[in-house]
Structure 1
């Protein structure tokens, strides 16, 4: 009988804890972040202790609020901070109840609230990551569609409106060659190593060229378009020898690129010319680096590459950064 009473007492304390979190002080807006996170903590406790509560919620319901906040642009650290504030409130409530309840009940309540914190932290973090992956994938698809239109010269204005990506009047046009990583040559690992190499290249391009740069790349290379307009002039973004060197170090292979610039309507022509030059440079076994097309009216296949002061990786077996592929 004593054990049954103790169990009943423990359940009563847990129920009080959940009610304390679910019903905050008067005057707090029902849609307030702190209110919602406290309610999510209460939901998590009910889900973790279904024998105590009548209708435990599905964990997906807890993640749903995190997805909403991610879409609203609320930072993950703000959400997690609100959850931790709720935990502190719950622990303070347990401490206040310590005089009326046994220590075993307080310990059980504290254990439940810590497990609830783990649940909501994992659910919120996972939801944020998945939502940002989805947004990034949608942006990447839109950007690739737009760059395809720029390369063909058709439907640019309509796609720009549909995607919400602004189009510059002038672009740097860059043709890039990416040699195979040594790990791509290993039996059974080529495709995976190639995808990882490409992700490293894309990540390395993002910071120096900004989010408005457009690229259409495969594991072997492709085309990059860097906007030149009043917006980018405030924070100059450009493909340079230094940028190419940084990307080569990230890719762990030496990249070769050819570059020119021109108005938007000439992009299809310029792309053909820089890729033609890139093909001639590769056929001539010229060293990796950035080759500018200074004058489209001249044959510049013998131009030397622009190089930064530091060394550029010249062998796929000599990596500037020892990250795995």
Structure 2
């Protein structure tokens, strides 16, 4: 098929990148729902589906065959994602109409009188593709809405709540009709905000939903089954059913992958347990995460084994005030306390400490000497190093528990 003296399919493929940019310029200008989408999403997911649709039109024109279900899988997946983000169905269908209109004008703008037959054939192909897209997009969108509110989703929520309550497998199965897995990987996640969540208006809500959707997708793919999860933009709890115990390097890789997919930092704690052990695992994970974040560690996966000393020292004990009191001489010198914490967090690397605090390394050395002079404890001595770390944990614990002022202790 040739229009304007040029093959239509080749012209569409060659012009796909430019047409995509032009469509993306029009969508936010004409559709408020698309104007509210994060810029990253317009330039990423939306741009990909626009370009795929233009190239699909080229394939239809070239082969004179209707688009099949496999051809329209990206459109269905995109529609389901927009449903999760709360983009109205009419806005999605109008967006496709804008794209179809622009393709039509692109190809027929230079049509000649003797090419009427090809123009009519092109029109028939375009109408057929548009009808297939509307059907695929509408059905996928409505199915996503149904699943979000349907009995299957409700059943998973009920199973999740029963497991968190520590009910037995038989009790859970009898009440929900769903039998728990033999064991679960229990994850507690703390999620950083995506930059788009700071934008005003609906964009922040959409960015948060997109972040959670990408994290859920990564978690579901790990086991091949939907995760049981209660997540909001700041984090939450996830239960992953597992047949065999995964290696911790695999779980670390999962958290790293989810963070990369969502373009956000994730700090996580994890435990592996049978169903009846889930409540204790959730509580322990939360404590591990509190200790990790309180000590200034970076994102990633942490296990109880990574914070054993902190965990033990954070238990209620008559020794805590005494340990915290080892650093009482620094109460009036917060810059020395901050330098000490940073110095120990960087494994006593003076240059890394200096870079973090924007100081000269010699200033770090001077401050650490002042810490030693005031407390009598030196990070360079093994016994003192243990005491300093323990004292810092004790201070954080007492501060978290609401013990005010008198950290000087006994």
Q: TM-score, length-normalised on structure 2? A: 0.41
Please report how far the alpha carbon of residue 190 of structure 1 lies from its aligned counterpart in structure 2 after TM superposition.
3.0
What CA deviation, in whole Å up to 9, does each residue of 1:89-138 have, x standing for no partner? xxxxxxxxxxxxxxxxx999978965763464134313431353145423
- Evaluate the alpha carbon distance shift between residue 212 and residue 161 of structure 1 in structure 2; reply closer, same or farther with a 3 A threshold: farther
- Alpha-carbon separation, structure 2, partners of 1:278 and 1:248: 16
Q: TM-score, length-normalised on structure 1? A: 0.51
Higher helix share: 2
Contact 2:216-2:227 at 8 Å conserved across structures: no
- Evaluate the alpha carbon distance shift between residue 112 and residue 208 of structure 1 in structure 2; reply closer, same or farther with a 3 A threshold: same
- Alpha-carbon separation, structure 2, partners of 1:164 and 1:115: 48
SS at match of 1:148: helix
Please say if 1:180 is aligned against 2:193. yes
SS at match of 1:286: coil
Contact 2:187-2:270 at 8 Å conserved across structures: yes
- Alpha-carbon separation, structure 1, partners of 2:153 and 2:232: 14
- Evaluate the alpha carbon distance shift between residue 115 and residue 162 of structure 1 in structure 2; reply closer, same or farther with a 3 A threshold: farther
Q: How big is the alpha-carbon RMSD for the aligned residues of Structure 1 and Structure 2? A: 4.0
- Alpha-carbon separation, structure 2, partners of 1:123 and 1:176: 38
Please say if 1:269 is aligned against 2:283. no
SS at match of 1:226: strand
Corresponding position of 1:240: 251
Gaps of 5+ in 2: 1-67, 74-116, 313-410
Q: 1:53-132 to 2 correspondence within 5 Å?
A: 76-77=69-70, 114=125, 117-118=128-129, 120-132=131-143
2:210 to 171, 193, 196: 196
SS at match of 1:240: helix
2:160 to 141, 147, 150: 147
2:234 to 220, 245, 248: 220
Contact 1:259-1:290 at 8 Å conserved across structures: yes
Please report how far the alpha carbon of residue 157 of structure 1 lies from its aligned counterpart in structure 2 after TM superposition.
4.8
SS at match of 2:265: coil
Contact 1:262-1:270 at 8 Å conserved across structures: yes
Please say if 1:283 is aligned against 2:294. yes
- Alpha-carbon separation, structure 2, partners of 1:161 and 1:79: 41
1:207 to 221, 226, 230: 221
Task: Tell me: higher relative CO, structure 1 or 2? Use CA pairs within 8 A at least 6 residues apart.
Answer: 1
What CA deviation, in whole Å up to 9, does each residue of 1:152-171 have, x standing for no partner? 22486566567665411221
- Alpha-carbon separation, structure 2, partners of 1:117 and 1:164: 44
Contact 1:165-1:212 at 8 Å conserved across structures: no
Gaps of 5+ in 1: 1-74, 81-105, 303-325
- Alpha-carbon separation, structure 1, partners of 2:305 and 2:140: 44
- Evaluate the alpha carbon distance shift between residue 111 and residue 295 of structure 1 in structure 2; reply closer, same or farther with a 3 A threshold: closer
- Alpha-carbon separation, structure 1, partners of 2:131 and 2:222: 36
SS at match of 2:136: helix
- Alpha-carbon separation, structure 2, partners of 1:134 and 1:237: 36
- Evaluate the alpha carbon distance shift between residue 111 and residue 182 of structure 1 in structure 2; reply closer, same or farther with a 3 A threshold: closer
